[in-house]
Chains A and B, each alone.
Chain A
Amino acid sequence: MEVVQSHRKSSSNNVIVSTLPLYRSAPPLEVRLEDFELFAMDRLRVLKGISDGLGRGKKPEEMEKLIADLWKANMRHPQANEEANKDIISHFVLRLVYCRTEELRKWFLSMETTLFRYRFRFQSSEAQRALMSEFKLPYKAVSNAEFESVKDKLGQVARSMGQTLAAADAIFYKVPFEEVPELVAGRRVFIHKGHAYVAMNQVVSLVVTQFRSYLSKALILTNRRVVGILAIVIILVDISFLVLRGYLTNPRKWTSTVREQEKDRLAPIVEALCTSYLGPDYSQENEVGEISLKDIYQIAKTSFPLCMRHLFEKVREDHHLKHGGRMQLGLFLKGVGLKLDDALAFWKAEFAPKVSAERFDKEYAYNIRHNYGREGKRTDYTPYSCQKIISSTPGVGDHHGCPYRHFSEENLRAALVRMGVSSRAVEDVMDKVRNRHYQLACTLTFEAVHGSSCDAGINHPNQYFIDSQRIMQSKDSAYLLELKKSCQVFSFALDEEPLCSVWL
């Protein structure tokens, strides 16, 4: 067993200082095997709750309360050191699980960073300052006298960002402007003679950025180590298998493999996990194969999900789409396999009655090329997942978003009927919509339109398209291959006996 030196100078056997852990290294603690799984699942509930909250677009005050409640419900322990143990252990167990792929790492990093940010805000000022020095941030507090002399300007800066300079925020730090480039770039600080006056809440962002950067590197390192290890504790395997299978299999079928007493606790999580998008991102055009321009019109009728059908119809009808719609539909078409030249031809032709060719080239072509990663910083943008589309906020004149969420009931019914969904199926769909299960509604629509079941559930418009095409063409698709690939990762581990637990 690898013994790792704890970074806490004051640590003795069981007394651990009750500050926010930074998860720099795994401490040598003894834990019962059952606790591995229990701790991790509890933490996963917290992280999932955060993910849901963010997905529903909760405001910061709401998130604050949500996280406090989640933590209290899942991670609290009457003994402070036990609570700290659970905190640390659960984090490291989940690290093992979530280090395996880029998507998992991204999700875990995002949730842990959010959790850290809000927990940091709950800390006392002394605790925050202590944490800042752990991160080696060289900030000096502004004296009262100096504060008075620059108070006006600080207030001006705050108000320019739509905030106020509350008395509680009167703690400012003075740093060389070179240390805070993001704040300088956004004009979010007052700068004078080379020094930036950084507000307490801005310091939080800087600390969080450090935390995030460290965890990101640690996850990649962890992944490398996991690959080299021969034996993995079966509990870990269970958890990771749950996580991956959660989105691969029908939650109804899955619950039969779980022990009775676990079902109530875990089933909701898995069902929720099912809707959390942790799968392929459809950014690689060549994985899916090419689609030519003339095919688009045909397949739009048969294989597009409702959100994309609507956008497609609207652009043909109005000869225009606003930005949100262009992004959602444009990236979807890219994922479907439409090449850049065909995409340019498509949009240009559809816009032609309203937009001249020169104006199109000047105002729209660049953005389309940008989406394909041919301009600017050459980012190859990924098509939006259901989660992202559901959480978007279409405004007046927009047609993007998720129809199951954003349409009125009558509009949605009419649209479903136009798609060819039977009236009985429409009722089932509307029932899901009323319960806010938008993706399950889309899944039922899929099943009704294609006359076959969709085990995995819909998590991504491109997934809908691929599944639909597969049924249409009745042959293996890249998606099945992806499924198989993901299963292989853990299939070997299922056969292994648990030998020992290893701390990384």
Chain B
Amino acid sequence: MTKEEAENGRDDMAIDGAEQANAVPDGFDANYLRIYYGKLFPHADMFKWMSYGNDGKHPACDRSYFGRREFSFTLENDIYIRFQSFNSVIELENSIKEKCPFKIDIGPVYSVDPAKRHAYAGDNVFTPVERELVFDIDITDYDDVRYCCTGADVCLECWPLMTIAIKVIDAALRDDFGFNHILWVYSGRRGVHCWVCDGKARRLTNEQRTAIADYFRVYKGNENSHKKISLPGPVLHPFLARSYTEVLKGFFEAKLLPNQSLLSSEDRYEKILEMIPDASVASELRGRWQENKRASMSKDDINLVRWDQLKSVLQSGKQKTQGIRRCVEEIVFSFTYPRLDMEVSKHMNHLLKAPFCVHPKTGRVCVPIDPNNCDEFDPTTVPTLSQLVEELNREGLRQDAENEWDRTSLGESIKFFRTTFLQPLLKSCKEDIESSYNAKLQQSKNTLSCRTQSNHLCPNVYSHLFNPVINAVEDQN
């Protein structure tokens, strides 16, 4: 690299004194964060997103909208500042570049500018009015069903648990709830976040958010029982049934069972046997498996063989109680069904990390995930901060300082963000603003025509009031 440097004679490679351009240390570094915010972080895109079409060009735009959104910054040394707000993209960008926050969180849109909240007295004057519907899924919540890693570690064996969580929730959000503008984001280390940005979603109350979170909840702790999942009823609700047949069953049997060796050793299969409410059935299987500790007859994976045995015993016609037959689904659900952090979704004022932040512990960027191709997402190849800086160095300085991200691995993510999420969202927002504006115009026109017919008001007074509005519409046309 040094040779190249010399050949090209670039002396602007000396960024922050790191002259040895190839020796970029791994992980997270505050200096590189500065470069990141300077050249790579998509400030303008974030601004456009958070404005939801209220960027001032249309007469019906709410100019105060972006300024009422709360951001919070976590600075170096764990200093945390809340209720940050900005009135323009420039303010946002400058503040981020200047403060260089290790983490940026996004909060709700409030009724008034959060920075001025103390000026307003009384209850319910300073209150959230809009907020995306958000979900947070963390792989540490699955620690009791994965054996390859624990805690904050993630590998390609257990990451698929996140993938299927995305599939289940995404399908329900679109098909059941009718939402369209959904962004899935890698959280940077061990989980995923989901942002539902439809207008309907942003205006949901806490009660409605809780209802949606409860709709998604299946895992419930039970006193003194070994089963935390209980699926009563002769059949499953269509949402659960669809999730099972389309996503969970296949994944459990083909991937999770063999990869995590869920039935190969005693302490592991005991956990599954504990979930069977009938002790005699459990002991029958236990007996069989204890005998066959050594290699089984066939070459098939021992986990799959035993799972088949379990299924045939539980689902055989002999089993009278429905609870036994349902057991198979319950086992699959308890291992694979998404485990959401309920508290994140329930309250409008919950802060959530912004996409495109860099995770301080791993250095990885919080990039969007395509729900239609989430099988291909690999958390171990997500661009890191040092990797991006290195790529920038390699490419060198170009004439146009715009779109530097396009020369790095981040380019793909930003393009994806724009084309599949941001542009359709903004288009839809503009349409909404336009149509509600036209509806209001129509309403006032109707009132005007009624009134002029009944001669209640002087037409002169009325036309004075109406002219500015009519002119604006004409201008736009």
Give chain A residues whose Cβ lies under 8 Å from the Cβ of B122: none
Segment at the B interface, from A105-113, A152-160, A228-236, A335-343: A152-160
- For residue A314, CB closer than 8 A to chain B, the reply is no
Q: Which of B177, B210, B215, B223 contacts A187 (CB 8 A)?
A: B215
CB nearest to B211 among chain A residues: A181
Cα A160 to Cα B234 with chains together (Å): 6
Give chain B residues whose Cβ lies under 8 Å from the Cβ of A191: 176-177, 215, 239
Name which of B211, B223, B238 has the most chain A CB atoms within 10 A of its CB. Answer: B238
Interface pair A160/B211, CB less than 8 Å apart: no
Interface pair B211/A185, CB less than 8 Å apart: yes
Instruction: Tell me the chain A residues, 401-438 only, with Cβ under 8 Å from chain B.
Output: none
- For residue B207, CB closer than 8 A to chain A, the reply is yes
Give chain B residues whose Cβ lies under 8 Å from the Cβ of A73: none
CB nearest to B212 among chain A residues: A184
- For residue A316, CB closer than 8 A to chain B, the reply is no
Name which of A160, A182, A322 has the most chain B CB atoms within 10 A of its CB. Answer: A160
- For residue A464, CB closer than 8 A to chain B, the reply is no
- For residue B90, CB closer than 8 A to chain A, the reply is no
Cα A396 to Cα B206 with chains together (Å): 40
CB nearest to B214 among chain A residues: A185
CB nearest to B177 among chain A residues: A194
CB nearest to A162 among chain B residues: B233
Interface pair B177/A160, CB less than 8 Å apart: no
Interface pair A153/B238, CB less than 8 Å apart: yes
How many Å from the CB of A245 to the closest CB on chain B?
A: 42
- Interface mask (B190-210 → A, CB under 8 Å = 1, otherwise 0): 000000000010001001101
How many Å from the CB of A360 to the closest CB on chain B?
A: 13
Interface pair A187/B239, CB less than 8 Å apart: yes
Interface pair B235/A156, CB less than 8 Å apart: yes
Give chain A residues whose Cβ lies under 8 Å from the Cβ of B212: 184-185
Give chain B residues whose Cβ lies under 8 Å from the Cβ of A185: 210-212, 214-215
Cα A194 to Cα B175 with chains together (Å): 8
Q: Which of A153, A162, A195 contacts B234 (CB 8 A)?
A: A162
Residue tally, chain A, CB below 8 Å to B: 24
- For residue B14, CB closer than 8 A to chain A, the reply is no
Interface pair B215/A192, CB less than 8 Å apart: no
Q: Which of B175, B176, B208 contacts A178 (CB 8 A)?
A: B208
Give chain B residues whose Cβ lies under 8 Å from the Cβ of A182: 211
How many Å from the CB of A394 to the closest CB on chain B?
A: 15
Give chain A residues whose Cβ lies under 8 Å from the Cβ of B239: 187, 191
Q: Which of B178, B215, B223, B233 contacts A184 (CB 8 A)?
A: B215
Give chain A residues whose Cβ lies under 8 Å from the Cβ of B240: 160, 187
Interface pair A192/B233, CB less than 8 Å apart: no
Q: Which of A161, A186, A194, A323 contacts B178 (CB 8 A)?
A: A194
- Interface mask (A193-214 → B, CB under 8 Å = 1, otherwise 0): 1110000000000000000000
- For residue B155, CB closer than 8 A to chain A, the reply is no
Interface pair A181/B208, CB less than 8 Å apart: yes
Name which of B232, B235, B240 has the most chain A CB atoms within 10 A of its CB. Answer: B235
- For residue A177, CB closer than 8 A to chain B, the reply is yes
Known: A177-B177, A181-B208, A181-B211. A194 touches B235 (CB 8 A): no
- For residue B31, CB closer than 8 A to chain A, the reply is no
- For residue A98, CB closer than 8 A to chain B, the reply is no
Interface pair A156/B224, CB less than 8 Å apart: no
CB nearest to B178 among chain A residues: A194
Interface pair A184/B175, CB less than 8 Å apart: no
Interface pair B176/A160, CB less than 8 Å apart: no
CB nearest to B241 among chain A residues: A156
Interface pair B208/A156, CB less than 8 Å apart: no
Give chain A residues whose Cβ lies under 8 Å from the Cβ of B176: 191-193
Interface pair B238/A190, CB less than 8 Å apart: yes
- For residue B237, CB closer than 8 A to chain A, the reply is yes
Give chain B residues whose Cβ lies under 8 Å from the Cβ of A177: 177
Cα A192 to Cα B173 with chains together (Å): 10
Give chain B residues whose Cβ lies under 8 Å from the Cβ of A184: 211-212, 214-215
Give chain A residues whose Cβ lies under 8 Å from the Cβ of B237: 156-157, 160, 187
CB nearest to A194 among chain B residues: B178
Give chain B residues whose Cβ lies under 8 Å from the Cβ of A322: 224
Give chain B residues whose Cβ lies under 8 Å from the Cβ of A157: 237-238
Cα A193 to Cα B176 with chains together (Å): 5
Known: A181-B207, A181-B211, A193-B178. A323 touches B224 (CB 8 A): yes
- Interface mask (B393-424 → A, CB under 8 Å = 1, otherwise 0): 00000000000000000000000000000000
Interface pair B207/A161, CB less than 8 Å apart: no
Can you list 17 A-B contacts with CB-CB less than 8 angstroms, sorted by A residue number? A156-B237, A156-B241, A157-B237, A160-B233, A160-B237, A162-B234, A177-B177, A181-B211, A184-B212, A184-B214, A187-B215, A191-B176, A192-B176, A192-B178, A194-B178, A194-B179, A323-B223
Binding site for B on A (CB under 8 A): 153, 156-157, 159-162, 177-178, 181-182, 184-187, 190-195, 322-323, 367
Binding site for A on B (CB under 8 A): 175-179, 200, 204, 207-208, 210-212, 214-215, 223-224, 232-241
